[in-house]
Amino acid sequence: MAQTFEIAVFEGDGIGPEIMGPTVKILRQMSDASDRYDLQFVDAPAGAAHYAATGQAFPDASMETARSADAILLSAMGLPDVRYPDGTEISPQIDLRKALVLFAGVRPVTVKAGQPTPLSMPEGKEIDFVLIRESTEGLFFSQGRGDVTENEARETLLITRDISEKLFQFAFHLARGRKRTGRGPGKVTCVDKANVFRAFAFFRDIFDAEAAENPDIKADHAYVDATALWMVQRPWDFDVMVTENMFGDILSDLGAGLMGGLGLAPSADIGLDHAVFQPCHGSAPDIVGQGIANPFAMILSAAMMLDWLGIRHSNAALVADGTRLREAVEGIVADGQVLTRDLGGSASTTTAADAVFDMLFVT
């Protein structure tokens, strides 16, 4: 019996539609080929272009579509020259994160053999770790509401027990899943600055309590500054890292840098009941309409979605197809024949996406 899943699709702005189209095409074909699951796609209009056309950036109907969907696929939103009258950026993805309490920002960082990276990789080493960034509080809590006077500026750093517990439970759960599937040794590293800030000592104490509940998974700590160093010197030693919002923001860009840029960096924003899957990159207005956008980060985000849905609903076929999709992209990148311009090739968006499609369905 096939399980049916509804996927909300935010094709967004800029290159968003260019990379979402071929991604959904691949997912539809996977769904058609499987008798174990059925994906149904529902379009959710939102974003800067939608605002320019209709005066609404995030229609209620699209929020409803997102809320009732089993998973949310999002490309990129926002355009530099379209803003709200008060000058703030149009970013429905942030509204979505808040409304659906998506506290765990998940950024896998992988560098497989043959993949471009600024590091010189020792023989036989690969990078494969996951950075989890708390996404609802931390140093972003007072975002836009900081206290600024003529001579002083203050911002709030908020760490709550409730969100931290959920965050760490998620981290141990993820490490266990990776261990089971042979992707990691089963280790979670809490990244903080507990030596200087009481808020981070609090964060670490909650982590330690959660670690004690999960004795099958190793747990350790690292200061954020040392972590930045080790991410460059020995990134292959990490498995799952979990950290506060601002630290995670910075380290995830470092992670994208290790992967040779944004073109191969997928992400997920995960809560208890909802999850959004989107590439780390933005709407890339500078290359829109040229057919040269790299679709791989979007496709890898879709693979994460299949994985998450499969684990959540105990559907092994979805997990297997998530892995197949990820490995197809990794294979094409390692092969190096069909790469878009950002990765040093000359393939178009369509050619690159078709290579993934053909690898999966044309034998």
For residue 24, give both structure tokens.
Answer: 């959904």
Query: Which distant-in-sequence residues (6+ apart) come within 8 Å of 205 by Cβ?
Result: none
Asked whether position 293 contacts ligand ATP by CB under 6 A, the answer is: yes
Asked whether position 281 contacts ligand ATP by CB under 6 A, the answer is: yes
Q: Which residue carries 């089993």 as its tokens?
A: 70
Asked whether position 152 contacts ligand ATP by CB under 6 A, the answer is: no
Alpha-carbon distance of 256 to 244, in angstroms, equals 18
CB of 51 to ligand ATP, least distance (A): 15
Asked whether position 286 contacts ligand ATP by CB under 6 A, the answer is: yes
By beta-carbon proximity to ligand ATP, the closer residue of 23 and 283 is 283
* Residue 94 interacting partner from Mg ion, ligand ATP, none (CB closer than 5 to 8 Å by kind): none
Asked whether position 263 contacts ligand ATP by CB under 6 A, the answer is: yes
Q: Environment class of residue 84 by beta-carbon count within 10 Å: exposed (0-12), middle (13-18) or buried (19+)?
A: exposed
* Residue 284 interacting partner from Mg ion, ligand ATP, none (CB closer than 5 to 8 Å by kind): ligand ATP
CB of 134 to ligand ATP, least distance (A): 19
Asked whether position 187 contacts ligand ATP by CB under 6 A, the answer is: no
| Amino acid symbol at 22 | P
Alpha-carbon distance of 154 to 148, in angstroms, equals 6
Asked whether position 81 contacts ligand ATP by CB under 6 A, the answer is: no
Alpha-carbon distance of 31 to 326, in angstroms, equals 16
Asked whether position 342 contacts ligand ATP by CB under 6 A, the answer is: yes
Alpha-carbon distance of 135 to 94, in angstroms, equals 10
Q: Which residue carries 């939103």 as its tokens?
A: 77
CB of 250 to Mg ion, least distance (A): 12
- Which residues bind to ligand ATP, rule: CB under 6 A? 15, 78, 262-263, 281-284, 286-287, 293-294, 297, 342
